[in-house]
Structure 1
Amino acid sequence: MAESIGDIEQQPAQAPAQSDPEPATLLLIIEDPETLSQLSEMVEQEGFQVLQAASTKDAVATLELEPVDLVLCDASTFGQDGHAGLGLIQSRWPDSIRLLLIDVATGLEEALRTIDEGQVYGCILKPWDADRLRRLLHRSLEELGAQRKRLQHEASLQVQNENLLALNDTLEQRIEATQQELKQTSDMLEKAYDELLHIHVTTARVIADLLHQRLPRHLQTNDQISALITAFCETHALDHTLQQDLELAAALYNMGKLTWDDHLLVTPSEQLSAQERTTYQNYPASSESHLMAMAQLKRAAKIVRHHRERWNGSGFPDRLEGNDIPYGSRLLGLAVDFIELQRGMVLPREVPRPQALALLRKFAGRIYDPELCHDFVKLCVEKAPDLQTGGKAVISLETSQVKPGMILAQDIYSASGMLLLHEGKRLDKHLMEKLKNFEEIEGRNYTVLVYRS
């Protein structure tokens, strides 16, 4: 509610007005005048103070004169030396948050190198989307604030450490105080390292999202594959570093497909021509080469390279066999095949979930590590993490196997998208007959997921 005139008159005349915080400064490094103008207008509307540069030289000159919070540059502005341009800015002005506009058509490997050497916080794909860019800018401001707080903490800790060194170490109380301060310092450094690693992981996932934007929704598999990998790692208490590498590999395993044409992306692998199959079999090695540009992803890159190897040595790209195939690659290969079979990305039809599990069992010992395959199928049957059951014990059944009294663990939809039965419904003979009638009408079998009693 607005203040009345009487309220204003009663306020103390000497009360100072609070000044608004200074807007954050953003430097745009963009060669194309039209793009520069459009972005400047949009960014100013978001409350930023905007500086402009059309080249590396102009950017350096501006940075030497003006304090800059964020730098947003077009990768194409730097030409073939993009990594050197951003690397220079990073080395001389490391406190500024660096953002990058990427055009995949201009070269993915150079863009990855620029991201790594320039320690880029975030990327946006051209043609840029205004809402995505706004969100990225505001996330960057939050990261900038966090960085400045960390620097203040580090400066404060440095002063405290210098004072501690001057204390008389013969006094018990001062020794105890020193130990407490050192513990705090260790915790801060560990937290800073975790935050730095988080930035690397976030950048990698942003890159993976570029491929998702080209795929139809029903072919976007990474979320389900990641859910399977995470659940398996936690269920079997795998090493933390291996779990982290596997989760990265699950998000980035198909990076080598980023330059494929749309036809190849949506064609089932079993229907590819001889020439297309050669391209397909090269994607794990291509994915690895893209990921190796970032030092933090080298272990995940190795997992990605070998996830299409087969237990009997007939896979690709290196025809490894048995235990020579890295453990993480064997697990990722199982998860990828299980989901892609159901999405129609392997055979020219979508394989129902129970049949997909049956195929994994069938090829254990030939394509898959038999022991690992047994554990993986057991996880899928008992917990179904790919179906987002929250880790509760479930059973996947065909309609003919369902019994009265069972409780649905997942909604059931018709082929047209109509909700037939919702999660939590207790099945009876009437509902089971209803499902069978819909199966006859639609000419397909439903997969029924129920909670284990």
Structure 2
Amino acid sequence: MDELYESAPVRVLFVDDEENILKALQRLLMDEDFEILTASSAEEGLRLMLANDNVGLIVSDQRMPGVTGVQFLEQAKEMVPDALRIMLTGYADISATVDAINRGGAYRYITKPWSEDELVQTIRDAVRQYRLVLENRRLAAIVSRQNEELQEWNANLKQRVLDQTVELRKKQEALQAYNERLRTNFKETVTAFSRLIELGGKKKHADNVAKLAVNMAQALGLSAEEVETVHNAALLHDIGELGTAGELLRKDPLEMTPAELKEYMLHAVRGQTAIAAIEELREAGELIRHHHEHFDGSGFPDGLKGEAIPLGARIIAMADFLDRIMQKLHGATAIEFGLRSVSAELGKRLDPSLYKPLSKFAKYIYYVRETGIKKLGETEMGLSELTVGLVLSRDLYSGTGLLLLNRGVRLDAAKIDAIRRYYRIDPPPHGVFVEY
């Protein structure tokens, strides 16, 4: 339809029973940019309207035999409602003119005899108005179509946005799950390294130091990231000893020769170097390097003093010192003796400001061991009996002495699978002890 509006010529239909008038109108309008149709009766005019598209203007005489101009215009209005209509009428036909306007929807009326200039201008104006009607309709059709396309596009866009949002959410959840697996694997790797270090004979040393250090760091208000760094450093603080001879490690530093002491003192730097390639452990490496620095500046490897020693290293130094003593002690008074030993080194090897949080958590961590009191409601279970939600009542070790899980851990499906896997690889001589 749009193309029709743009390309089809506008047709002007003249209806008059006098041939000479029709010819005069043709001559008068022959140079105009519209096509002229003529009919000598209303019936012929109706046929021409049926046979021709784009009839935009109908000019009809009022006085015609048979069907009057008013009746003809009324019928034309039904057939081509968009066409403009003009009545040619004499001065005496005022009532017919009113009827033409009211019933036939006449756009204008022109009296006979007419002024040629006025008639031509009136016809031109009517054709121009009809073309505006067509153009408005064309534009309205375009707007309507574009609105439909826009609505469809918006609907599709909304769906695409929803689809992309769902897809992004899935990717984000997958990425979060992947990152969580990475964090879990990283933590398990650090724990695995600490257990390898303990094969040298310091059973649970790294684990005890980590527990003490983490509780102290939290009590001192360190951030979660700082606590995590302290935890990793505490678990790995003796990793540099893996490159040191076993017989040297079994000696007390006070009993070492100068050459042996020099070799032993290298392990703190070796520990930092061993993990320096792992970006996530570089801050922990700094704490490992300095965990043998003394508060009075007499330590190694850099002779740092007081608060120049990183706080995390001072925390680990105190926890390490206490647990090395506790490794050699047994009995109900062990913790009191251990804490007295710590007190004797305050201001020398150890930071006095850290004693209060250490003593608080040390008494809790070593309580069961020093008193011999076991948890009430403990039972031993086989692997097939383990269920989600059970709590370990004892530390869980493999057959060769590797710590698998700590006492107090609540079992989930993943931990139960891990226990069964370790028990197949390296089974201990007993089942799993849990609270009930």
- The structure with the largest alpha-carbon Rg is 2
TM-score by length of 1: 0.43
